[in-house]
Amino acid sequence: MIARFVVPLLVAMLAQQSGSLSPDERAMVAFIDANNAAAIALLERSVNINSGTQNVAGVREVGSLFRAEFDALGFQTTWVDGAPFKRAGHLVAEHRGAPQGSGKPTILLIGHLDTVFEPDSPFQKYERVSDFAAKGPGITDMKGGNVIIVQALKALRSASLLKSMNIIVVMTGDEEAAGRPLTMSREALVKAAKEADVAIGFEDGDGNPATAVIARRGTTNWTLRVKGRPAHSSQIFNAENGYGAAFEAARILNAFREKLAGQRHLTFNPGVVLGGTTVDFDTAASRGSAFGKTNVIAEEMVVAGDLRALTPQQFAEAKKAMEAIVAANLPQTSATIEFDDGYPPLAPAGGNEVLLTLYHQASLDVGAGPVVAVDPDKAGAADVSFVSEYVPFILDGVGLMGGGGHTVHETADMRTLPSQTKRAAVLLARLHQGFEVRLQAGAR
């Protein structure tokens, strides 16, 4: 494996290749156009299989559908059982075409099999709604991206390029609601990342084909628990009874707003608030009940929310500030806050910018127009963030484009299926063909 590509080498490769397609690349573009109907058929088949995250059988069925495609391409495929982290599992497909020491990169391609639409959702089937649009659960998020991966690899095979490539594909089965512990549910993805030089995620980003993702905010959940001294409401604020749990929770939330609101890329949201004499809160389901009376000082408050930031440092600083606010209690109250780290951030990095430049040029060369980086505040958390610690060149948001994600209006712009596939295939070919055996001093 190449420990790290040298950025100037990437730039030199770009200068040599920009402005035109090679004969192999033209052949791939022609293949993609000729086989677009087959790509649409595969997309329709996958969308028509319900694979809501909790539908274990459905996620496995979609995994089997794509596993057959990778098997036919000569990949070694494995199903990672998700029972230990209470999910369906993951599909891993590996193609080892170049021997170790050949100077060829190992490229990680990331997709996911699950959707947010469980079997009880009214939104279940693929539907063509116009000449250029189709609706369906997960059509852009992200079964369309999975199809683009498959079709790009088929195009590479058609040009006799795939046979010498080192590719690892990981399609997780729980991207929409990751299993716990995360160390276990993301073990297969992290293992692949440790071997990879480049990682590309095929999410739909902000749905605009003129953008791609090189930075994403991470997300952390938090739970605030507040205690007060119960007493008759007429005795609130005195030295013996203090301010009660409700006022203390209000103080904390307002202090969060005053201290932290307005920082670029940082958001925090109290999504559930329960309080009264007693509180019953189910953290996993994010729901509960409370009992209290207007003439009794509230004894308990529970607030659950999320925190989003762009870098680990921004997360650390925000958590420290929140903990300090929580600790400065009003009289006769106490409070604690717990953080449940979820998706890490994909922080901005120079290697990601270089990879975007290569993708932009590939897009221009196939006639699909320029590509710029999307605002990271518009890019939600995704699996690609878990590889950021290990892979120096990362790009995401290059899947099937459209809008209405996570709603019953999820719609794909079907014109972007061939164009996104062409971009991906040309980029992968150039990554594979354009590097020499050069290792950077002080490899990762």
Q: What is the pLDDT along the chain (444 residues), one digit of tens a residue?
A: 444 444 444 554 555 455 689 999 999 999 999 999 999 999 999 999 999 999 999 999 999 999 999 999 999 999 999 999 999 999 999 999 988 777 899 999 999 999 999 999 999 999 999 999 999 999 999 999 999 999 999 999 999 999 999 999 999 999 999 999 999 999 999 999 999 999 999 999 999 999 999 999 999 999 999 999 999 999 999 999 999 999 999 999 999 999 999 999 999 999 999 999 999 999 877 899 999 999 999 999 999 999 999 999 999 999 999 999 999 999 999 999 999 999 999 999 999 999 999 999 999 999 999 999 999 998 778 999 999 999 999 999 999 999 999 999 999 999 999 999 999 999 999 999 874 333 232 233
| 374 & 278 share domain | no
DSSP category for residue 208:
-
Residue 183 in any domain: the answer is: yes
| 224 & 110 share domain | no
Domain of residue 87 covers 7-216+346-433
pLDDT value at position 187?
Answer: 98
pLDDT value at position 14?
Answer: 52
Question: What's the total number of domains in the chain?
Answer: 2
Closest CA to 234 of 292, 295, 173: 295
Closest CA to 308 of 349, 271, 353: 271
| CATH number where 179 lies | 3.40.630.10
| 37 & 120 share domain | yes
Are the C-beta atoms of 411 and 135 separated by less than 8 Å?
A: yes
Count of alpha carbons within 13 Å of 258, Cβ hemisphere only? 7
**DSSP strand E in 159-266: where?**
166-172, 198-201, 211-212, 218-227
Residue 313 phi, psi dihedral angles, 5° rounding: -65, -40
Domain endpoint, select from 319, 341, 363: 341
| 316 & 409 share domain | no
| 163 & 264 share domain | no
Domain endpoint, select from 297, 314, 341: 341
Return the structure tokens found at 370.
Answer: 């320029």
| 63 & 135 share domain | yes
pTM for the predicted model, two decimal places: 0.89
Residue 442 in any domain: the answer is: no
| 425 & 368 share domain | yes
| 312 & 368 share domain | no
DSSP category for residue 204:
-
Return the structure tokens found at 420.
Answer: 């996104």
| 366 & 386 share domain | yes
Cβ density class 117-128: b for 16+ within 10 Å, e for less:
beeeeebbebee
pLDDT value at position 99?
Answer: 83
Residue 139 in any domain: the answer is: yes
pLDDT value at position 234?
Answer: 98
| 123 & 20 share domain | yes
Domain endpoint, select from 297, 322, 341: 341
